Structure 1
Amino acid sequence: MEKNYSYIDLSLAYFQKKAKIYKDGGYKKAVSLKRNIDDYENHLFTFLIDINFCLLPVYLWVIEFLLILTGLIPPRMFDILFYIMFVLLFITSVILLPVITSRTHGVTFGGEIMGIRIVNRQNRIVNGFQLILRQAIGMGIPLMLFGYLFKTWGILGWWLINGIASLISPNQQTIMDIVLGLHLVYESETHIRFEPESQEKNEEEICPVDLHIRSNYSDDGYYDVEEIFKQAKELGLDTISITDHNCARQNAAAFRFADLYKIQYIPGVELDAQYGDIRVRVLGYYIDWEHEIFDALERASLKREKENSLLRVKKFEEFSGVSIDVDSLIQNSRFQTITATDITNMVFNNERVRSLSFVKKYIDSTNSTSEAMKQFKYHIFGKGGPCYIKGNYPRLEDVIKSIHISGGICVLASWHMDYIDDETIQQMIDKGIDGIECFSPCVQQETISSLLKIARENKLLITCGSDYHGPTKQDRKLGVTHCPEKGVQLVRILTKHAN
């Protein structure tokens, strides 16, 4: 039975989806407002649209006043209508605008039209309380208070002061933006559609080919090789590749189980690579997994991660003043490494550390422990954070060469492709990429379309994969690659070469 949704339900769903896209990576493409004519005009139009929403009761009162002058409304109604207008003005400017801005995660009426969002210093989504403060104290309350005390001149004076602040601040910040550490950014264009439920379910359909799977040979994989083949058989998959992270040793076992479970298997690996300032991942297929190059790459990866672990611990101890039991954490790690997740779990599982101010603020400002941990991990260990570690990964050209030396095919993984522009992708292709992982649950539909276009223009191989990790990443499901039936035929151009 088809559900009927109200306009409010659809609007909230739209802004929640838009905020999720922004939160999941759109913030990396956000552009702060600068001090130039175009940005000043867009900021002004955003403000005018928002203030006109607040002043709707005043406009209604003007109409009522004119009706009083014409005799259509009795003069004795003047005072009553005025006070009603004042109450409605309070509701629109002090309550409705702040609450709506909070529910839309920083997008006002004017912001939606002009493509502008209110964000924090790191271009990330702002919590609802800050947005309410920004709109109520920065716009609604001054409108009411100064209008009541000083009439029109008071309101214009407040707007003038904020206008001057916007003109002289680096990113056109108002007074409340400066106080709260906020600013305005242009969002990247997003196309949001609401599909019928039957079509949404199609996204969960199982694809018979899955060429991007991690086993427990990876640091964040869960299932062993045989368990993956069991699950693939139960789901009806006919072709798979286990592409572990910087490790090719799983392929020996995979070939044995491929014969046992009657599933076509393509030997694979997933390698970290660096192209300029961008970290990418390259999938290698049809590789000679016994080639010495993969043993060297795995040893280099383990060495790099151990060094990063110790540096991460050192930075965190210097930042927090909290001592970390390195031996205990390493003993519980299969790969003898300490990740940002390990430290975050340690922090939130220790009552004394949880009570420290630099941790408690995340607990107090979020609705759940899991969300607090997510925010803590991002702000402390993410790019730009006090404990961020920039890995020293092999050059893309060297990774491509390594895969080709082993007789393999280089495919650019979909990982982080939402945040890399087409021109950069083309530059990477020119380095020797043979194919692109176009179909994946890890990227938006717009990115899938863009990758397909690039692959066709360059006559590249097209692959699909779920990036299945097991329970460690519950949003990834084996066989769910978002590859349509027509797309499978394109993927089989690569798989038909398997022996």
Structure 2
Amino acid sequence: MIDLHTHSSASDGSLSPEDLIRAAKKEGLSAIALTDHDTIAGCAAASAVAQQEGIVFIPGVEIEIPWEPGEFHLLGIGLYRIAPSLEEALRYLEEERHQRNERIVQKMQEMGIPASYEDIRQGIPGPVGRPHFARFLVERRIVKTKEQAFLRYLAKGRVLYVPKGALKLSHAVRCITESGGIPILAHPLSLYVSWGKLPGVLEELKSQGIRGIEAWHPTARVAECERLEKLGKNLGFLITAGSDYHGSSRPERQLGRTAGNRIIDDHWAAPFLPSPAKNS
């Protein structure tokens, strides 16, 4: 059992990178990729613990790409030699995230919600994101649940929504490939492209450097995943599977399991495993 899509407290997961690896060991995983949003800050610590625990560690990242009407998330899996281009891009995204968060706080104040950036950041070891604003709204009893916070305030098009900093696809693909990684389209149904148009869209993305699609994701139904896998294979893509694990913030997602609670088999990891060539 393995997992190719997980998050730690270095972005919006609840577990530290070290505890994520320990949890993976407890669940019986043989390999795990850490793919935090816009950062590789947790990879060194996760790799060290993985070596101690006897788990294969695959460094990765998840980057947002501008897209309408849905969302386009690009996984970079197998970042065994970090290029200066990727480091520079992630610094840019970190600053963009900071500015976005300040704008959300400003919007909250304009609505009469007493808040400061320090209030939001309190007790958060990693970067601040919308889930932390959702938590704040729950703690201040403005909403009852995090889900309600997104539906009313933080989701795309809602009053507190501010677009996230993103990289152009060509830029992100270059950064990932220069770092030895493989660019993978995460949860393709988030693009909000109809099934009739999806083959053409995927072919265009392949021509721009996307090498694989995450056909298996827990937000999709099993039948949809099977359809995506078949389509991806017909178009010559690598096929991946992940849990998109976030820990206690999304307890329905379990390490090593994907759509339909299916176990993510070891064979999915083969294209991303480390080798002497990848580390040179």
TM-score by length of 1: 0.49
- For 2:43, the aligned partner's letter is N
The aligned counterpart of 2:158 is 385
| 2:17 counterpart of 1:216 | no
Report how many aligned residue pairs link the two structures.
271
> Could you say what secondary structure the match of 1:282 adopts?
strand
The structure whose residues are more often helix, as a share, is 1
In 2: Cα distance, 1:293 partner to 1:321 partner = 41
**1:133-154 CA distance string (max 9 Å, x none):** xxxxxxxxxxxxxxxxxxxxxx
In 1: Cα distance, 2:251 partner to 2:165 partner = 29
- For 2:209, the aligned partner's letter is G
In 2: Cα distance, 1:492 partner to 1:322 partner = 46
The aligned counterpart of 2:187 is 414
Offset, 1:402? 1.0
> Could you say what secondary structure the match of 1:226 adopts?
helix
The aligned counterpart of 1:126 is none
**1:315-347 CA distance string (max 9 Å, x none):** 2332x233323333334443464x544445444
Aligned residue runs from structure 1 range 320-339, under 5 A? 320-335=111-126, 337=128, 339=129
Contact 2:81 2:180 in 1 (8 A): no
Change beyond 3 A, Cα 1:287–1:450: same
Contact 2:78 2:273 in 1 (8 A): no
The aligned counterpart of 2:87 is 295
In 1: Cα distance, 2:77 partner to 2:127 partner = 28
RMSD, aligned α-carbons? 2.8
Change beyond 3 A, Cα 1:286–1:312: same
In 2: Cα distance, 1:224 partner to 1:431 partner = 34
Please identify the structure whose Cα radius of gyration is greater. 1
In 2: Cα distance, 1:311 partner to 1:245 partner = 19
Aligned residue runs from structure 1 range 185-224, under 5 A? 208-218=1-11, 220-224=12-16
- For 2:112, the aligned partner's letter is G
Offset, 1:379? 2.5
Match of 1:237 among 29, 32, 41: 29
In 2: Cα distance, 1:232 partner to 1:340 partner = 26
The aligned counterpart of 1:183 is none
- For 1:452, the aligned partner's letter is E
Between the aligned residues of both structures, percent identity stands at 25
- For 1:217, the aligned partner's letter is A
> Could you say what secondary structure the match of 2:65 adopts?
strand
> Could you say what secondary structure the match of 1:267 adopts?
strand
- For 1:209, the aligned partner's letter is I
> Could you say what secondary structure the match of 1:234 adopts?
helix
> Could you say what secondary structure the match of 1:245 adopts?
coil
Offset, 1:232? 2.0
> Could you say what secondary structure the match of 2:204 adopts?
helix
Contact 2:216 2:240 in 1 (8 A): yes
In 2: Cα distance, 1:392 partner to 1:277 partner = 16
Aligned residue runs from structure 1 range 358-373, under 5 A? 369-370=144-145
Match of 1:456 among 233, 254, 262: 233
| 2:106 counterpart of 1:314 | yes
In 2: Cα distance, 1:340 partner to 1:493 partner = 34
In 2: Cα distance, 1:348 partner to 1:209 partner = 34
- Tell me which of the two structures has the higher relative contact order, counting C-alpha pairs closer than 8 angstroms and 6 or more residues apart: 2
Give 5+ residue unaligned stretches, structure 2: none
> Could you say what secondary structure the match of 2:252 adopts?
coil
Contact 1:267 1:287 in 2 (8 A): yes
Give 5+ residue unaligned stretches, structure 1: 1-207, 364-368
- For 1:478, the aligned partner's letter is L
Offset, 1:479? 1.0
Contact 2:62 2:73 in 1 (8 A): yes
**1:47-106 CA distance string (max 9 Å, x none):** xxxxxxxxxxxxxxxxxxxxxxxxxxxxxxxxxxxxxxxxxxxxxxxxxxxxxxxxxxxx
In 1: Cα distance, 2:2 partner to 2:182 partner = 17
The aligned counterpart of 1:264 is 56
In 2: Cα distance, 1:234 partner to 1:345 partner = 28
